[in-house]
A and B are shown apart, each in its own frame.
Chain A
Amino acid sequence: MSKLELKNLVVSVEGNTILKGINLTVNGGETHAIMGPNGTGKSTLAQIVMGHPKYVIESGEILLDGELMNDLPVDERSRKGIFLGMQSPVEVPGVTNFDFVKSAVSVRLPKDQHLRIGRFILQFEDAAKELSMGSGLSHRFLNQGFSGGEKKRNEILQMKLLKPSIAFLDEIDSGLDVDALRIVGENVTKMKSPNLGMVLITHYQRLLDYIEPDFVHIMIRGQIVKTGGKELITKIDQDGYDWLKAELGVTDFEEKQPQYSLGTCATNTAVNSVTK
């Protein structure tokens, strides 16, 4: 059973601190939901756990089964069991979906083992069928020309075949119609097991109607400010997040960035201070 621990995680991008001391433990078998207004760092959290090079860990630790992940390359994190279902999966023209997933599954095998292609084709087709994806999926180029819903289902297809131990699903419900949401929800729920810890990042209750979380966290201004159970989802769905302002003693969830203006006087001051 895997365990992901985030300890006092502080993360910045281009000098701006986005995550300000995140503490979170996800055990195998648990499903966590992270909710919160736009721009509070939810996606950053998922990306930094995966190791996106754009983000910088200023302090704190990411531990998977006690092993420090902070400096581990993205691909190694993946092979150790971390998965990120992306909000906007990129298109890779010319690379077929099948070749891509096959390569991803192959690199996970021990060096003395080879992928049994026949069996893998059946697994791929079964997974595609369970997600109600078209039969031509394997020959289509990776995410190219996919609808929003197809892209999200394709993320779940990869998750099914890669069998991660810790999975972040970043707004996997966006762009899905009612039927697609149900299909994704059912497939993800079927994957629940003691060997998989999940973190769902979402804005809406509707995803959580299908995938029941054990813990709900609310993230505001780069911090988890409240943790509870399913009752929090209902509260957010009914009242939004405004009720938290009073609890937190803030008037606005979005932080005001300091404004700088460099006018003539400032320029003169700067020049004078340099020349003095």
Chain B
Amino acid sequence: MSFPDYLTRIPNVVDLSQPNTLQIVPKVQVNDQGVHVTIPRSTKQPAVFLWNQKISQLTLHVSEGVAAEVILLRVLSGNAKQSFQIQLDSDASLSLHEAEWNLRASKTSIQRRLTLQKSARLEHQLLSSLEGTSESDFFLDLQGARAEYAGETFLVASGESKAFAHQRLEHHAKSSVSNIQNILVASEASDLDYSVNGFIEKGMAGSICRQQNRGVILSPKGSVRVDPKLYIDEYDVEAGHGAAIGQIDEEQLFYLLSRGLTEDEAKRLILSGYTEQFLAPYEALEIRSRLEQRIANRLKGA
């Protein structure tokens, strides 16, 4: 499978399945298991990677003290079973914007393993619009003191798509922080099932573990289930979780309708408010409008 032209035209884009483009990456290892990318020094420009099902394993390693930004476009054309490891050394920081979609409905699964060492910081946004059945197994391991993870997911599904996700966030160090926010939108007969689990083990004082989940159901046949849990074995922590599932906020809808917007237009606009922050990083790559259109189609059930 080759990527669509509008993706391969992105300046300095790295197609992980193409050895010639991999040369752009300063430190990379390729073997039968997959691709291991190390970011050895700080960069001002984001690195952009294209990832398809030809590569089953991807490791992204940010070296000690390095600050980097990565845009990862996971574009699939068929069934896929993949794993993605993110390793941040001490004092490393990574801003990671992931977008994933498939060109036709398929069965996909991904394991994400994230390891953060002392004072590492990861800001992670995931924009997901996979069709078919998708499974996601997410494991965050906060190994170093003061490691911080901020994760936001916007997932939209349509048709009869099903998405299952299991998120597990483990605090194995003092003063470690995890903030996770999931926005899950089900249109048509799609079915979204999320379990979100935060663990703070004994002795990890000063840690913060927060989860926020928002499920929006756009049609009577759609469903969203979220099961947020916290397992706390330490007194000196901050922790909170919640899940709100329902239709679009009635007062917001009334406000927009009262200005003459049709119900469809009003809903589209309200939901575009959720996606705005997720789409912003793709503006410079000139693929924002494509992603926006894709999301809009999913919301309409196209």
List the interface of chain A (C-beta within 8 A of B): 50-54, 73-75, 77-79, 83-84, 86, 89-90, 92-95, 99-101, 103-104, 107-108, 141, 158, 162
Contacts and interface: CB of A to CB of B under 8 A. Distances in A.
Contact of B260 (A75, A92, A141): A75
Contacts of A93: 273-274
A158 B256 CA distance: 12
Given A93-B273, A103-B265, A158 B259 contact: yes
Contact of B269 (A79, A103, A158): A103
| Consensus secondary structure, chain B interface | helix
Interface stretch (B81-89, B223-231, B247-255): B247-255
Interface in B225-272: 249-252, 254-263, 265-266, 269-270, 272
Given A92-B273, A93-B273, A100-B269, A75 B255 contact: no
A99 B251 contact: no
B273 A162 contact: no
A162 B259 contact: yes
Contact of A95 (B249, B250, B254, B270): B270
Nearest to A52: B254
A94 B261 contact: no
Residue with the greatest number of chain A CB neighbours at <10 A, chosen from B254, B262, B272, B274: B254
Contacts of B250: 53-54
A86 B256 CA distance: 12
A78 B259 CA distance: 6
B32 interface: no
Contact of B272 (A83, A95, A108): A95
A100 B259 contact: yes
Interface of B: 249-252, 254-263, 265-266, 269-270, 272-277
Contacts, number: 75
A42 to B, nearest CB: 17
A93 B260 CA distance: 19
A169 to B, nearest CB: 13
B255 A86 contact: yes
A151 to B, nearest CB: 11
B273 A73 contact: no
A94 B260 contact: no
Contacts of A51: 257-258
Nearest to B264: A75
A250 B225 CA distance: 53
A94 B274 contact: yes
Given A75-B261, A104-B261, A94 B273 contact: yes
A95 to B, nearest CB: 4
A75 B266 contact: yes
Contacts of B269: 92, 95, 99-100, 103
Contacts of B255: 86, 89-90, 92
B260 to A, nearest CB: 4
B272 A94 contact: yes
B1 to A, nearest CB: 33
Nearest to A141: B273
B250 to A, nearest CB: 7
Contacts of A141: 273
Sorted nearest first, the 5 A-B pairs with minimum C-beta distance are: A94-B273, A78-B260, A94-B276, A74-B257, A104-B259
Contacts of B270: 92, 95
A79 B260 contact: yes
Contacts of A107: 260-262, 265
B276 A78 contact: no
Given A94-B275, A95-B273, A78 B258 contact: yes
Nearest to B273: A94
B142 to A, nearest CB: 28
A59 B249 CA distance: 28
B217 to A, nearest CB: 18
B212 to A, nearest CB: 13
B256 to A, nearest CB: 7
30 contacts: A50-B258, A51-B258, A52-B254, A74-B258, A75-B257, A75-B266, A78-B257, A78-B259, A78-B260, A86-B255, A86-B258, A90-B249, A90-B251, A92-B256, A92-B269, A93-B273, A94-B273, A95-B270, A95-B272, A95-B273, A95-B276, A100-B259, A100-B269, A101-B259, A103-B269, A104-B259, A104-B260, A104-B261, A108-B260, A141-B273
A59 B257 CA distance: 24
A93 B276 CA distance: 9
Interface centre among B249, B256, B259, B274 (most CB of A within 10 A): B259
Contacts of A84: 258
Nearest to A47: B254
B295 to A, nearest CB: 13
